Amino acid sequence: MAAEFQTPEFREYPAVPNALVKDATAHLSPFIAKPNHQEQLGFPGELVENWEEKAIEKMGDLLSKYRGLRVYLDSCVKCGSCTDKCHYYQGTSDPKNMPVARQDLLRSVYRRYFTFAGKYFPKLVGARDMNREVLDEWYSYFHQCSQCRRCSVFCPYGIDTAEISMAAREIMDSIGHGQKYCNEILGKVQTVGNNLGLPGPALSATLEEFAEEIQDDTGLPVQIPLDVKGAEVLLITPSADFFAEPHIDGLMGYAKVFHEAGVSWTLSSHAAEAANFSMFIGSYSNMKKVAERIRDAALELGVKRIIVGECGHAWRVAYSFWNTLTGVGAGADASDEYALKLQRQLDPSVPQPMHICEFTYDLIQKGKLRFDKSANDHRTVTFHDSCNVARASRMGDWAGGQFDIPRAVIKACCNNFVDMDPDSIKEKTYCCGGGGGLLTDDLMEIRVKGALPRMEALKEVVDDRGVNTLAAICAICKAQFAKVLPYYNFPMHMLVSTHQLVGESLIMTGSNQEKALQPKQQAEAEATAEE
């Protein structure tokens, strides 16, 4: 079906929009959560009576719990450093998509009820009463923020717009005005164990099919284990790896790496999901419920280490929150017996948790993996830094490891690698346009328009450097690009999982690929000897 909006045109010189378009995307709002979506997460099913007062009460609760939130609301000086940094503002020209303007949608209400000037001189400080017009504005524009935090990189005060967006969404959930996409998914993961609502038998059958495909390709009995007690590694990966392209190829890449390394591993049907959409709505209570499923699975299966697959916000939650939520890592509450039990069970000599890229990189550094880089010679690869990996987590034991390690893995298995413009990668990376709970078809317009800066950086290396492959390490980024690339006239097949590149070039001991390479390697060795 044809799009009902205009895809932005590529700009000769990407910059601040020449003209503001007031309320250009005011019409965009995601579907409202149904009562059962709300109630299963502990929120009111519908908009409550006296919701205005309840919203202000909830805001006060958040201000008392999170010191940073009040600092962010008080410290903005309207310097303008953030205005052009938002991909949604660049793609829509709507001034309310400037990070500072989006913050002010909540800041104006905060001032009215929580500051002296706002209580007694509201018009002088831009303070607003909480009313239906404000609520509708919040619901629209706080769901046009992917919480990517790029604006925070450039803010001289470090104001985190993502935290303000999370707070606004949590306030709306608490009064019965939540988003269908996030809340329905959270209900599935809390009851079934994954975002898809995929039951254990269906998951098992799917994994068996993938294992058969790997065996047909390699000639080796590579397994994708499920619910295996006593395995060394529990892999927690996004459920998109079980059904979507190119995610599936990444999962098969993980399986090949584990097999070649001789490391026993397993997935869990109880915790078959790395994603935790609770972060997007700012609900730490729901984040803990989802994370505890992972702890339960780890304890039940008796694993020694936990590795996280390719998913950006999943790695942020694992890296930044699992320690206090579950006991994976240091920092569990002394009264949490299950967290302490898990900490005693996990191997302290390796990072807990560990990203799959870290795991593969470590094997490469130790010389335990061999690659035929020519298997990827038909590709010239560029890499998309995912927001939550780039700006909210880390890999390795050095600053910038989250940038270096994925690139090192790609370069180990590919001869042709090109980075995009320096102002569009690493800590300055542009969002894919679909993160933060926006990966839903009812927000397709903002997703496509918000992808403009990333698509422009991609076009530059496609045109000038011959790039034909875009690698990513985030399930949401992959799903977003799979939909958005065609809007900008890029082929969908140029998108790959990072571990797809690994899996396609990995020389596995005894595999069909190794046997096919032996004559070539022997000829090369003989030629070298003659020289």
Cite the residue boundaries of each domain of the chain with CATH code 1.10.1060. Answer: 40-178
The torsion defined by the Cα of 501, 503, 504 and 510, in degrees rounded to 10, comes to: 150
Instruction: List Cβ<8 Å contacts ≥24 apart for 488-492.
Output: 488/7, 488/10, 488/451, 488/455, 488/459, 490/455, 490/458, 490/459, 490/462
Q: What digits encode the pLDDT tens for the residues 262-319?
A: 999 999 999 999 999 999 999 999 999 999 999 999 999 999 999 999 999 999 999 9
Handedness of CA 89, 94, 98, 102 (dihedral sign): negative
Q: Which CATH number fits domain 40-178: 3.30.70, 1.25.40, 1.10.10, 1.10.1060?
A: 1.10.1060
pLDDT of amino acid 241: 96
Handedness of CA 5, 10, 11, 16 (dihedral sign): positive
Helix, strand or coil, per DSSP, at residue 354:
strand
Residues pairing with 265 in the sheet: 233
pLDDT of amino acid 14: 77
pLDDT of amino acid 531: 65
* Encoded tokens for 212: 């058969």
pLDDT of amino acid 58: 98
| HSE-CB of 505 using CA atoms within 13 angstroms | 24
C-alpha–C-alpha distance, residues 302 and 233, integer Å: 9
| Residue whose pair of structure tokens reads 């009313």 in the numeric block | 131
pLDDT of amino acid 407: 98
**Helix 67-75 to helix 161-174 angle, to the nearest 10 degrees?**
120
pLDDT of amino acid 2: 46
Q: CA nearest 502: which of 377, 391, 372?
A: 372
313 neighbors 280 (Cβ within 8 angstroms): yes
pLDDT of amino acid 110: 98
Q: How many CB atoms lie within 10 A of CB 286?
A: 26
pLDDT of amino acid 275: 95
pLDDT of amino acid 1: 42
* Encoded tokens for 215: 């065996």
C-alpha–C-alpha distance, residues 193 and 190, integer Å: 6
Q: What is the pTM of this model?
A: 0.95
User: Which parts of the chain have pLDDT scores under 50?
Assistant: 1-2
